[in-house]
């Protein structure tokens, strides 16, 4: 078999497998054939290959296929996902180990970061993203400057290169805190918005100005934080935790199962939070405090141009 054909077959098999995993009973053979530009008999051959490899398939009355979750596959899925229940059990275990309270808290913080990181999505586990993190960590360890190539900035609405000294890398929160060599100020960046990281030969020159700042659940870096309190309906709750997974740790259920309380410290300019509230004002979002947040939202509303 020619190499190109062999490679194309492997890619198609993986894509067909991924399609059936993502949407069980979502595709017929004809739909898969159309999607991947092959004859339905080719998809039938792919199914035979899956079964020969030990995977079981099933189909519904409309001829839509799905993998049967047998014990080995179920076990693999359990290993791939880190659930809230898993975290609670590990918290309990940490509380019962022989260690100082400081060490126990440190372990819980690491566990919390791992839990949030596991929910950020497949993109953060792919090689290009991990390479960026590795290069940033290497530059930090060697105290070298780096070029952040093709950084997509929302503030300036531009794509540009930035020369920085990276001193705090947090993959779980998708943030990089560094010193901007050109602007001569500490800045924070989103790792996912960096196209590539290029190591430079030049060593740090501004280490005395490196300052690690606190990061809020909206990934905004600011040591001047304020406490906010919101009441959320189900729709607003869903949007908040799906767009900003870290906020889940600051949400509590109320006596009414249709409403949730969100309380945490956020940056004093309410970046991120105000965008969420204004963007989803059609959902139930009630600001319980502080007054400065209400005043900020009113100013933002009045400044809108239609």
Per-residue pLDDT of 46-63, as tens digits, reads: 998 888 877 888 898 889
**pLDDT at position 107 over 80:** no
Q: 234, 254 in Cβ contact below 8 A?
A: no
Q: 276, 240 in Cβ contact below 8 A?
A: yes
| Same domain flag for 28 and 60 | yes
State which residues form the domain around 153.
127-209
Q: What percent of the chain has pLDDT over 70?
A: 81
Q: Is residue 79 part of a domain?
A: no
Mean pLDDT of the chain: 82
Average pLDDT over residues 221-242: 92
Instruction: Give the orientation angle of helix 84-95 with respect to helix 101-118, to 10 degrees.
Output: 170
Q: 166, 191 in Cβ contact below 8 A?
A: no
Average pLDDT over residues 132-158: 90
pLDDT in tens, 64-85: 998 876 544 444 444 444 555 6
Q: Which of 133, 137, 135, 163 is nearest to 148 (CA)?
A: 163
Average pLDDT over residues 29-37: 89
Q: 261, 251 in Cβ contact below 8 A?
A: yes
pLDDT at 55: 82
**pTM (2 d.p.):** 0.50
| Same domain flag for 89 and 53 | no
Number of domains making up the chain: 4
CATH number of the domain bearing residue 133: 2.30.30
pLDDT at 193: 92
| Same domain flag for 136 and 203 | yes
**pLDDT at position 93 over 70:** yes
| Same domain flag for 195 and 142 | yes
Q: Is residue 261 part of a domain?
A: yes
Sign for the pseudo-dihedral over CA of 272, 273, 274, 280: positive
Q: Which of 172, 170, 152, 150 is nearest to 161 (CA)?
A: 150
Buried b (16+ CB within 10 A) or exposed e, 163-174: bbbbbbbbbbbb
Band the pLDDT of 223: cuts 50, 70, 90: confident
Say how far apart CA 265 and CA 192 lie, in whole Å. 24
| Same domain flag for 106 and 169 | no
CATH number of the domain bearing residue 230: 3.30.70
Q: Is residue 218 part of a domain?
A: no
Q: What percent of the chain has pLDDT over 90?
A: 43
| Same domain flag for 164 and 232 | no
DSSP assignment letter at 204: P
Residue 143 φ then ψ, to 5°:
55, 55
| Same domain flag for 89 and 40 | no
| Same domain flag for 292 and 230 | yes
Q: What angle do CA 191, 197, 199 make, to 5 degrees?
A: 135
pLDDT at 111: 61
Q: 134, 108 in Cβ contact below 8 A?
A: no
Q: Is residue 78 part of a domain?
A: no
pLDDT at 132: 86
**pLDDT at position 233 over 70:** yes
| Same domain flag for 251 and 233 | yes
| Same domain flag for 240 and 294 | yes
**pLDDT at position 200 over 90:** yes
Band the pLDDT of 101: cuts 50, 70, 90: confident
Domain end: 209, 240, 264, which one?
A: 209
CATH number of the domain bearing residue 20: 1.10.10.10
| Same domain flag for 49 and 108 | no
Say how far apart CA 224 and CA 130 lie, in whole Å. 31
Q: Is residue 112 part of a domain?
A: yes
Q: Is residue 152 part of a domain?
A: yes
Q: 146, 169 in Cβ contact below 8 A?
A: no
Say how far apart CA 192 and CA 190 lie, in whole Å. 5
CB atoms within 10 A of CB 161: 13
Average pLDDT over residues 216-223: 85
Q: Is residue 15 part of a domain?
A: yes
**pLDDT at position 149 over 80:** yes
Q: Is residue 219 part of a domain?
A: no
Which tokens is 65 given?
A: 């296929």
| Same domain flag for 246 and 292 | yes
pLDDT in tens, 259-289: 999 999 999 999 999 999 999 989 999 999 9
């Amino acid at each position: 078999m020619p190499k190109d054909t062999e490679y194309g077959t492997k890619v198609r098999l993986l894509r067909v497998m991924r399609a059936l995993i993502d949407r069980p009973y979502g595709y017929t053979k004809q739909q898969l054939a159309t999607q991947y530009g092959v004859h339905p008999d080719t998809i039938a051959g792919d199914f035979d290959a899956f079964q020969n490899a030990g995977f079981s398939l099933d189909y519904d009355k409309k001829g839509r296929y799905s993998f049967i979750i047998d014990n080995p596959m179920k076990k693999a899925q359990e290993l791939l996902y880190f659930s809230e229940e898993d975290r609670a059990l590990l918290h309990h275990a940490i509380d019962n180990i022989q260690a100082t309270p400081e060490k126990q808290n440190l372990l819980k913080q690491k566990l919390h970061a791992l839990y949030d990181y596991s929910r950020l999505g497949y993109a953060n586990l792919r090689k290009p993203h991990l390479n960026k993190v590795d290069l940033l960590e290497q530059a930090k360890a060697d105290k070298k400057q780096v070029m952040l190539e093709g950084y997509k900035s929302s503030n300036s609405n531009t794509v540009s290169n930035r020369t920085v000294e990276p001193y705090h890398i947090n993959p779980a929160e998708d943030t990089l805190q560094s010193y901007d060599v050109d602007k001569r100020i500490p800045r924070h960046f989103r790792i996912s918005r960096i196209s590539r990281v290029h190591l430079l030969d030049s060593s740090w020159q501004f280490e005395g100005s490196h300052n690690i700042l606190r990061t809020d659940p909206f990934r905004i870096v600011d040591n001047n934080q304020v406490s906010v309190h919101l009441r959320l309906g189900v729709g607003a709750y869903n949007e908040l935790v799906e767009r900003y997974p870290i906020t889940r740790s600051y949400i509590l259920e109320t006596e009414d199962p249709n409403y949730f309380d969100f309380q945490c410290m956020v940056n004093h300019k309410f970046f991120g939070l105000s965008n969420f509230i204004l963007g989803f004002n059609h959902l139930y979002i009630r600001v319980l405090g502080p007054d400065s947040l209400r005043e900020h939202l009113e100013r933002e509303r009045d400044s809108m141009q239609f």
